[in-house]
Amino acid sequence: MHYAGSFDERALAPHPVFEGHATGYRRADLINRAQGSVHHGSSIDELAAGGVIEPHVHSFEESFYILSGEAIVTIGGVSHRLRQGDYGTAKVGTPHSWRTAGTAPVRWLQMASPQPKPIGAERDTFFPKHRTVPSDGATFDPDNRNGQLLGHFDVGMIPPPGQRTTAAAGLEGVFLKWLIDENFGAAHHRLVFIEYQPGVSIALHDHTFEEGYFILSGEVDATGDGKKYRMKAGDVFWTSVGCVHSFAQVGSEPVRWLETFSPQPPKENVFRFVADWEKKARELED
């Protein structure tokens, strides 16, 4: 099972869970149970100039990557002024709040895992009695995290192809930067930044976890369950457990995306490449 779609500005709307607890807050779901997902709860979230989201806690883990604008984000009682390229995690049960900084809206990709419950089901978001939203915070210094589950990564930090060490053999044109994972402090999901240089592809494979992809720039041919899609900036792709999928960069510019994994991948046997197992079958059966 898989899903291919696009982020639609017109889908941004107030979220009913935050009625009376936020001003200027809108969200557009990207991946949830409506697309067939069991584990994913990803969205594009926006807070208007002057907007606030009051302190709240979830019974799920929530992470974000800021796409544009600036905000005062308070997690666990510590406030930071965050900007484009900053990211972070609020672990299960950790109070957190948002306030727009400056005169422009702030927009971010948000990931929640386990998947939030549908409206009308049991509650999984709660608002403390004391709901003061801090009006300022220290500018985040990625070189001095002080134990905070925050980080920063932007396209200017991508090394040239000849200096990359994160790609597997045969995929030197791929850049992969783990942003949020178990080493970062998350317990239920991962977030990774990926770039494919022109001409790079990855063969058909599947996983024991769900993957979500939000395209930032460039174009890529994505294949899921034998169907091919041309994906570009703002498009969304999702693959379920066991969905056989592949990617091939197209065009003259690199393709870049943010990718979410839920639940966290196993320590081994992460990829199950179709060609590898066909070869193994011939060795075993011939």
User: DSSP of 139-199, one letter per residue?
Assistant: EP-TT--TT-SEEE--GGGPPPGGG--SSPTT-TTEEEEEEESTTTT-SS-EEEEEEE-TT
How many Å apart are CA 47 and CA 205, to the nearest integer?
A: 38
Segment holding 285, helix H or strand E: helix 274-285
User: How much is the average pLDDT of 44-52?
Assistant: 98
For residue 228, name the pLDDT band (cuts at 50, 70, 90). Answer: very high
The reported pTM is 0.94
265, 217 contact by CB (below 8 A): no
Per-residue pLDDT at 165 exceeds 80: no
Q: What is the pLDDT of residue 168?
A: 58
The mean pLDDT of 23-49, rounded to a whole number, is 97
Q: Where does the pLDDT of residue 162 fall: very low under 50, low under 70, confident under 90, or very high at 90 and above?
A: confident
pLDDT, residue 170, reads 59
Q: What is the pLDDT of residue 166?
A: 59
When pLDDT is averaged across residues 88-105 and rounded to a whole number, the result is 96
Residue 169 has pLDDT above 80, yes or no: no
Of 11-25, 86-100, 118-132, 244-258, the least confident: 118-132
pLDDT band at 161 (very low <50, low <70, confident <90, very high): confident
The proportion of the chain whose per-residue pLDDT surpasses 90, expressed as a percent, equals: 83
Q: How high is the pLDDT of residue 266?
A: 86
Average pLDDT over residues 13-36: 96
Is residue 214 pLDDT above 70, yes or no? yes
Average pLDDT over residues 196-213: 95
Please give the residue that has the higher pLDDT: either 14 or 166.
14
Predicted pLDDT at 167: 56
Q: How far is CA 255 from its chain centroid?
A: 16
Residues 109-152 pLDDT 10s = 999 999 999 989 999 999 998 889 999 999 999 998 888 999 99
Please, what is the Cα angle at 224 between 270 and 271, to 5 degrees?
A: 10
Complete domains list, the chain, with CATH:
2-152 (2.60.120.10), 155-285 (2.60.120.10)
Is residue 284 within a helix (H) or strand (E), and if so which, with residue range?
A: helix 274-285
- The per-residue pLDDT for 267 is 84
Closest to 187 measured CA to CA, from 79, 122, 92: 92
Angle at 228 between CA 224 and CA 231, to 5 degrees: 100
